[in-house]
Structures are given as structure tokens and as C-alpha cells.
Structure 1
């Protein structure tokens, strides 16, 4: 089977590609360039799309002995992920850009382009499993529950699942994946995991939103309607948030205050 391996530059995708090769598939590695300005995803950023990640992905492909390409999907990413991220915060909701990226970029734009080029499936380093049930293919949680990523793949339908491979779904632990990477000669075996939003390179989500949406001052009120503070933009707050509220005074009962609603 001809398989397109999505190489992010991290250890998980590299081991997933290695397992696809080991399974006998004809594998080609591809790294997705998601930023219109490479400076936004700069070297040393804590997300998964920095310049150094592209270099790490290329080195992994070299070790595995597979062809490697970089595909520019920045337009699709900006229009379907970043734009949605901004509009959701602007509307007072907190989005999950990883779900959006998987649905519209990794398993739509990337997969569609791969199919058009003759590939049968896409392999990624997601921790999830695909099993066949009575009603067709089913998405299941990974064996390693603490690393499970099935929740960001839940939007995938039967057609996408049929063309997806998750070689790490049965992994017993992340430590084992790192050990396997080292044994395979992959130099990124000790590379830290990425947790931040990839297009917010410095991890400052509030600063990113303000740079894109501008300052929109308003009042912070309690559940009784009393003004207890001010803000520069309601988009900077999330329901359930406790830290960073910068309120003028504590609650009368001394208990911590939480955001219970956001009204742009």
C-alpha cells in the first residue's frame, strides 16, 4: 500500500512512519508548512510547526530512507483553522484548533492531495485506534490512555477512517516510543512534546488575539451585575478561568472568582 506519512518533526510521527515502513508499505514523508510567514513559527517555538521541526522531519526521513517533501498548506490552514480560532474567541467561545486542523487540514487537504497523487492512506503519529465494528469502522481510544488523542479525531467519518493509519494506537507508553526511536537511530528521541498552539509561537494566546482583533475595552461584572473590573477584550477570557482576571477586589466571601459567562 502506498502511504503518505505526515512528519511533524516530532518523535511520534517519526516512529509512526518507521512502523509503516516496517509493515511493508511504500512510504513517502511529507511535512506540512502551515504558516504564511515562517518567522511566525520560528526556531525555538514551543508548538509543532517551527522551522527546526521541518529540519527534524527531513532528518527522520533520511534515517528511514524514504522520500521527503514539504507541502505548503498555509492558505488552507489560515482560512480554516486560524480564521475559525479568531471568530470563535470573538464570539465568546473557546475553540480547539487541533480538532479543526485534523478535520480540515490533515485529514482533508493533506489526505485529498495524497489521494489525488495515488496514495492509499495517510499515516500519522496520533495515539488512537481504528477497529471494525458491526456498523463499520470505529475510532477507539489508544491503549495508552494518558496519551489518547481520539477526541481530536472524533470528527472523522468512515471515508477518512478507511484511509488513515495510526501505528501508535497500541503503544504501551510514550517512554517505549522514545526508546524505539532511539533504537532506530532517530535523533529526536528525546525531543520534548509540543503542547502549545502551533501558530501562537510564544504561547501568549491573549497577545495573539489582541494583535489580530485589537483592543476592545469593557467591564467585568459579577453574577449580581456589579462592576468588579475592566478588560481590554472579552475574547481573552474563557468560561471556568480563574487566573489572570485582574479584578479590583476579591469576592465578599473571600472565595476565588471564576468566569461563568462571556458576552462579547
Structure 2
């Protein structure tokens, strides 16, 4: 996909990766970018910095009704949705014993059901036109895993699986899907574990912390190539291969990495 003249929706767009992508899409010549987020003040400030091709809508991605309203507005105003970026995400520091029901429900609601609701809302219009694109932000944690963030890692696995299902079910009907799976990116999410002693992005930061603007280079390239997996951190592909080659050895290595990370905290 080339981004010029496209109508694009980005969730989680008030800051971080979502804001950086929105800015880059406009720079690439998008006709209109709709920024959706829960944070009204940040959203307004973000749109003001992007110019007259940016529109905003306050939207909670855990509410199917609000996502339906977002898509309905875009269809009414533009007649189409070319690219839907399911980017909103949350993280918490937890493990299988400490994660509460509330943490599980919130992570599932944002990291998985936000993608499901977006597809339900936009797919019928895309299928009617015979074309459309979903860019689903997951994480390297959805391909590998990540210590100390159980609800995040599990729901990001689910997000990857859902993106695969979209590609399998609708790829022959003009629907393109890319799944963005970075390691650590310099956003507020990276600092989520600092109070618990997890520094520099934890395990996700083992290969360094990427700036959102640099990540957007990989996004634009991946969309142009219509690649399913977009891996801004190239090491992730090697880690996936190691995992598939010897699962037990990979699990042992992850335990060692976790222990090293916690010892240095």
C-alpha cells in the first residue's frame, strides 16, 4: 500500500507510536488521518500539531459501540476506510499469580477486543469495496514472550493470532493485513516497570530502545511491501527461529534472561 491519498484511522493516537504513525502518514500524503484515543486533551494537542488533514475522536477501544461510531463517522465523511491501524495497547507488571481479574479483563479488552471490534466495524465496508488494510500493532512479546508482564504477553499473542485469522479468512477478498511487532520503543509504556525496578525496557530493551519516528520507517516500508510481519527489531526473527528450533532450550534462555534482568534491577 502506498499512503498517498488514503483515508486512515489510528487508535491510541494521542501519543507514542500512534501519534508518530499519524504524523508520518500525513507526511506521506494521506488524504485524512483520524486520530482516536481516550485522552481528549492529548488528542486535541496532537491534532493541532498535525494540520488540517488530521481529525480526532475520543474513543475507548474496549467499547464496540464507540468503535462502530468512529467508523460510521469516517464512512459518512470520507466514503471509505483505506487503512485501519489498531494501535491502542496497555501493559501492566504482573505474573500468573499476581495478575488480577481486572488486569486480565482490561488487557483483553484493549489488546485483543479492540482489534476484534475494529474489524467488525470496518470489514463490511472494505469487503463491499473489495479492498482494505489492517495494521495491527502487537509486540515482539506476542511472538516470543516477556517476563513480568503476563497479561500483556498473553494478550499480544492473541492479537497476533487474530491478525493471522484476518489474513487467512479475507486475504482472497482484497483485505491486506500487517502485524507490527517491535521490541522496546521510546514511549511511556517502556517506563511502566521502573517502580518495580525494571529499567531500560526490561527484556524488551535488550537490543536497545527505538524511537517512534525510526519505527515508522519500518511501518511505511512494510505497508509498501504488504508484509504480514513488520519487525522493526531485526533480531526478533532470529529469536523466533531459535524458539521454533528448540522450545525447551529457548524457555531455559528466557528464564536466565529474566533472572539476569531482575538481578540487575
Using structure 1 for the length normalisation, give the TM-score: 0.37
TM norm structure 2: 0.37
